Amino acid sequence: GTGSSILSALQDLFWLSKSKVEKQLQIISVLQWVLTFLIMGVACTLILMYILCTDCWAIAALYLAWLVFDWNTPKKGGRRSKWVRNWAIWRYFRDYFPIRLVKTHNLLTTRNYIFGYHPHGIMGLGAFCNFSTEATGVSQKFPGIRPYLATLAGNFRMPILRDYLMSGGICPVNRDSIDYILSNNGSGNAIIIVVGGAAESLNCTPGKNSVTLKNRKGFVKLALRHGADLVPVYSFGENEVYKQVIFEEGSWGRWVQKKFQKHIGFAPCIFHGRGLFSSNTWGLIPYSKPITTVVGEPITIPKIDNPSLREVDFYHNIYVDSLIKLFDKYKSKFGLPETEVLEVN
């Protein structure tokens, strides 16, 4: 009757509103991470300096004293928080794209691992969501394994930002930090290194699957020194979420980017996503394209205290071959044609 029709219409309206609210929460969750990535460190530094010049200077002074006392914590595995890693905001973050983590093999808790994550993308959104939060269930998929996402050491010199990053299990991508985790933290540790780094981010663009890997061998040497197994990881869709202006080699734009990369550690990219209120406008919000991160088969690595160049090259070649095989095996399952080839630079 009429009453049931009205009730049905109200229910439809309710569910429509609920879906809209969830979508807005997803956008907000992604925006807060983008702003964290881009400006949180600088903003917190400026705010702290401002507070030092006000009547509340004692608060800033106490934090700075704590900062000095706590300075080396990032180099010793950080200070992860199970509570932060399980925030509901990360589930909204995951569902916006959506992001998915695919396990292909079991990992032994008696071993340590170095995951090579590819490609970098603009912000490594898949790496963050999968390994610095529990949104995709990394602890359930790999029970007993503690993931540590490695990022620029400079981030840990920024007040507040350093504590926020450590709470997610993020550590500096430097030798001291990695040596400590692999030598003094028992077994069952997995350090995720975005191997291509800033150089790779300069070439990421939708429709392109390329990795900067040929001359990146430091992570292999670290694996050999600690006897940590290497695990290739490929994130399908990581390059699809932002559009970037690509400067050709030899151009002034690429020269500026490489200078920043050399002296500061990151390369400034000119990129855009969608707007905050509309997908038809430009902005900092990434496009909602699916990101599927596939964790490949571990490569058993022997412990060699001082590996030779020949030994490093040998296991590096094995790693490159394993990554290509992983890409070829799963590319058609995640929207790429069988003819697609992974470009290794």
Residue 48 has a pLDDT of 94
Highest mean pLDDT among 37-41, 196-200, 237-241: 237-241
**Other beta carbons less than 10 A from residue 322's beta carbon:** 18
pLDDT above 60 (res 6)? no
Distance CA 175, CA 222 (A): 8
Q: Mean pLDDT over all residues of the chain?
A: 91
Is the pLDDT at 11 greater than 80? The verdict is: no
% the chain with pLDDT above 70: 94
pLDDT of the residue at 261: 73
pLDDT band at 254 (very low <50, low <70, confident <90, very high): confident
> Would the pLDDT of 170 be above 70?
yes
**Has residue 96 got a pLDDT over 90?**
yes
Rg (CA), the chain: 22
pLDDT, position 286 = 96
- Residue 240, pLDDT > 60, answer yes
What digits encode the pLDDT tens for the residues 287-334?
999 999 999 999 999 999 999 999 999 999 999 999 999 999 999 999
Region of poorest pLDDT, from 106-120, 221-235, 246-260: 246-260
pLDDT at 15: 55
What is the pLDDT, as a whole number, of residue 2? 52
Distance between CA atoms of 231 and 301, rounded to whole angstroms? Answer: 10
pLDDT at residue 311, as a whole number: 97
pLDDT computed for residue 135 by the predictor: 98
pLDDT at 255 over 70: yes
pLDDT at 332: 95
The residue ranking higher by pLDDT, 197 or 253, is 197
pTM to 2 decimals? 0.90
Task: Decide if pLDDT at 231 tops 90.
Answer: yes
Q: What number is the average pLDDT over the span 143-154?
A: 95
172-186 pLDDT per residue, tens: 999 999 999 999 989
Stretch 89-107: mean pLDDT: 97
